[in-house]
Amino acid sequence: MAWILVTGAAGFIGWKTCELLLAEGHQVLGVDNLNDYYDIRLKVWRRDQLACHSNFKFFNLDIENYGALKLLFEAFPIEAVINLAARAGVRASIEDPWVYYRTNVEGTLNLLELMRKKGVKKMVLASTSSVYAGSPLPYREDLPVSRPLSPYAASKKAAEVLTYSYHHLYDLDISVLRYFTVYGPAGRPDMSYFRFIKWIDEGRPVIVYGDGTQARDFTYVDDIARGTVKALKPLGYEIINLGGGKNPVSINTLIEKIENLLGKKAQVEYREFHNADMKVTWAEIGKAKELLDWQPEVELDKGLSITVSWYLENRDWLKKIPV
């Protein structure tokens, strides 16, 4: 029986995607380098949720390491690759753009080359709504996107273009998924919603860059994982938005919702807006409905309630996680 390779398996989206694949009976190879971009305890917690499955194997491996990846492709019959390994975060990419290119571009190239050599035809590539900077709303996949505001966004766009080259030259089947502001339990602690929950609960100042009117198309992680697995179907080469698809929600409104769930008032401190950030994101998701029979199922209020409940249940160890 063949295996599905999921890179970034201990990451936020990777963990949920592996969980869904395993529930559907697939054999999953999970790889992750467990880097310290954020507190490794969250990554270990996610990995350990998957470890009990007999059809899951985990390897501490960096997709920048071509030799190690090559051994994996030689040892297992791989039928598809879901590439979720990435350096994420707009502001951090400004501090160290090199690591973003090594992981997001060179790491993707390593996978594509091994797929070509081993006859693996299918890749699902995680991309981002950040590539749409400067485009008219709502964001459609056919919009020209050539003005990324950060090295992170530029590296993801570079990976998209690279996968198209391999589709054109070697007939690889590539589904590029542009994710929109993913949230949920056990998310990245540098994400705004995670910080807001923790800061409000602990009575610490809530730092907002800008006036809080900037808005995002929040998408629950289970919905993202479901769309990612659906994108394993043969499609040729397609770029597909996975987002909430409704009116974006402002940061100020998000804070109010979290206040209500925690029963605590936020002490908001507004700081200068960062010029690498986007004012608004908003997905047009008609293509996902048509090609993947996908649309989000979890509304923001329900998703936030589940997320806050998870935080409260795990607060004893989460209080040690820096945000």
52 contacts 26 by C-beta, under 8 angstroms: no
Q: Average pLDDT, stretch 26-51? A: 95
- The class level of CATH for 3-181+219-243+283-297 reads alpha beta
Q: Taking the model in full, what pTM does it have?
A: 0.96
In the structure, what pLDDT confidence band is assigned to residue 276 with cuts at 50, 70 and 90?
A: low
The pair of structure tokens assigned to 198 is 């923790």
203-206's contacts with Cβ under 8 Å and 24+ in sequence apart are: 203/264, 203/267, 204/267, 205/267, 205/268, 205/269, 206/255, 206/266, 206/267, 206/268, 206/269
> Helix 221-230 to helix 12-23 angle, to the nearest 10 degrees?
60
pLDDT category at 88 given cuts 50, 70, 90 is confident
Mean pLDDT of 29-40: 93
Encoding tokens for residue 77?
């019959």
- Omega before 151 cis (within 30°)? no
* Domain range annotation of the chain: 3-181+219-243+283-297
Tens digit of each residue's pLDDT (9 = 90 or more) over 132-181: 988 999 999 999 887 888 889 899 999 999 999 999 999 999 999 999 99
Catalytic site positions:
152
Is the pLDDT assigned to residue 86 strictly greater than 90?
no
Could you report the per-residue pLDDT of 213-240, keeping only the tens digit for each?
999 999 999 999 999 999 999 999 999 9
Instruction: Tell me the β-bridge partners of 29.
Output: 5, 57
**What is the reported pLDDT for 87?**
80
At residue 74, the pLDDT reads 98
Task: Give the residue with greater pLDDT, 9 vs 280.
Answer: 9
Which residue, among 73, 50, 174, 159, has the nearest Cα to 122 in the 3D structure? 174
Whether residue 89 has pLDDT greater than 80:
no
